[in-house]
Amino acid sequence: MAEKSKILIIGGTGYIGKFIVEASAQSGHPTFALLRESTVSDPAKAKLVEGFKNSGVTILIGDLNDRESLVNAIKQVDVVISAVGQMQLADQVNIIAAIKEAGNVKRFLPSEFGNDVDRARAVEPAKSAWAIKVGIRRAIEAEGIPYTYVSSNYFAGYSLTTLMQPGLPPPPRDKVTILGDGNAKGTKSSFKMLIVDNLSTSKEKID
């Protein structure tokens, strides 16, 4: 059996990142989570971090703005998955630089989790966020880093409190629009593990 890829998740305690960390560990990959010192010491995150440790996840202390900690973390793995939030999307240029310096990464999955920003059109405020993601894609490609872009389109949880009625105060009381039959299911965290286990191409987009 082929050796499992070692995976580093950056942004692993966030809305999406925590599920990626769990899926990686459950898939048997040696899993590393790069966390800030303030996150590890945060009582609100204590249970989550302890759960990671109990699952065999190696906790590394670092920061996107600390080059040395980034490079040291990346040198320990084969695959880097970024799950940083919108406020840190632009800071992924630091991850790209660290991957280039480390020189050992076989695959980078930047923080996407939305529409394919090279094909979709948007209005503000999404337009500005997408422009950052486009810039990150071009930076990855310019450095020749093997990548996969995962476009999940939309997570219902983003609008769950308004029952998919953007802009309305939750919960909506007048009317609700039902989209689809409610039976479609998908798990993006597990999907990412399938990508990691099948590194056949250096450049890939997944919709």
Q: Which residues are catalytic?
A: 133
Q: What is the DSSP string of the chain?
A: -PPPPPEEEESTTSTTHHHHHHHHHHTT--EEEEE-HHHHT-GGGHHHHHHHHHTTPEEEE--TT-HHHHHHHHTT-SEEEE---GGGSTTHHHHHHHHHHH---SEEE-S--SS-TTT----TTHHHHHHHHHHHHHHHHHTT--EEEE-----GGGGGGGTT-TTSPSSP-S-----S-S-----HHHHHHHHHT----SEEEE-
